[in-house]
């Protein structure tokens, strides 16, 4: 029975993660977090204040999340020297699968081990959920789902915030 419920939940999340491309206004309250980094160490969101931060809530089992990662790597490589920080907040339950995926793809930005509390605090109802924080630590843009339009919106907002 438990396996059936987990399967239903995963199917619902899978269907939701690619189909919802909702954009919200930056009215959400910013909640600080400290999360363990894959490979060791911890990162605290508030310690990065003064930088433009892109947080990607994702999971290895989500095809749209995996499709977004090469674009996020490109954005990271383009803007990191201008002050952009990208954090991948993994919502995977299987740490070994996450480690293998990260090793295969070689993601250059920090991958954090997300928690239900942090996902709930940022109202993550579908993945990928991408949130941009301005230099003051306020939410400047929130995108749910993956599409070329999402990536264009993210990159335009990041470019504007870094100026």
Q: Are 125 and 92 in contact (CB under 8 A)?
A: no
3-class DSSP assignment, residue 63: helix
Q: Phi then psi for 24, rounded to 5 degrees? A: -115, 160
Please determine, for residue 69, whether its predicted confidence score (pLDDT) is greater than 60: yes
Please determine, for residue 41, whether its predicted confidence score (pLDDT) is greater than 90: yes
Please determine, for residue 10, whether its predicted confidence score (pLDDT) is greater than 90: no
Cα 38 to its chain centre, rounded Å, is 14
Query: Rounded to whole angstroms, how far apart are CA atoms 100 and 97?
Result: 5
Q: What tens digit of pLDDT does each residue of 82-135 get?
A: 999 999 999 999 999 999 999 999 999 999 999 999 999 999 999 999 999 999
| Residues 60-74, mean pLDDT to the nearest whole number | 97
Query: Rounded to whole angstroms, how far apart are CA atoms 15 and 106?
Result: 27
Helices (H), 21-122: 63-79, 95-105, 116-121
Query: Rounded to whole angstroms, how far apart are CA atoms 137 and 64?
Result: 27
Report the DSSP beta bridge partners of residue 111.
Answer: 88
Q: What tens digit of pLDDT does each residue of 112-123 get?
A: 999 999 999 999
pLDDT of res. 27:
52
Confidence at 22, pLDDT banded by 50, 70, 90 = very low
The torsion defined by the Cα of 110, 127, 24 and 69, in degrees rounded to 10, comes to 50
């Amino acid at each position: 029975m438990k396996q059936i419920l987990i399967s239903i939940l995963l199917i619902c999340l899978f269907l939701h993660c690619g189909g919802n491309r909702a954009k919200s206004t930056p009215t959400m309250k910013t909640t600080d977090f400290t999360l363990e980094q894959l490979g060791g160490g911890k990162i605290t969101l508030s310690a990065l204040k003064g930088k433009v931060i892109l947080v990607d809530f994702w999971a290895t089992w989500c095809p749209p999340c995996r499709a977004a990662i090469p674009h996020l790597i490109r954005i990271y490589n383009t803007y990191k020297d201008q002050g952009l920080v990208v954090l991948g907040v993994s919502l995977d339950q299987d740490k070994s699968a996450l480690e293998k995926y990260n090793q295969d793809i070689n993601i250059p930005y920090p991958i954090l081990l997300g928690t239900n509390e942090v996902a709930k605090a940022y109202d993550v109802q579908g993945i990928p959920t991408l949130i941009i924080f301005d230099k003051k630590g306020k939410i400047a843009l929130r995108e749910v789902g993956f599409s070329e339009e999402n990536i264009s919106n993210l990159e335009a907002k990041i470019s504007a915030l870094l100026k």
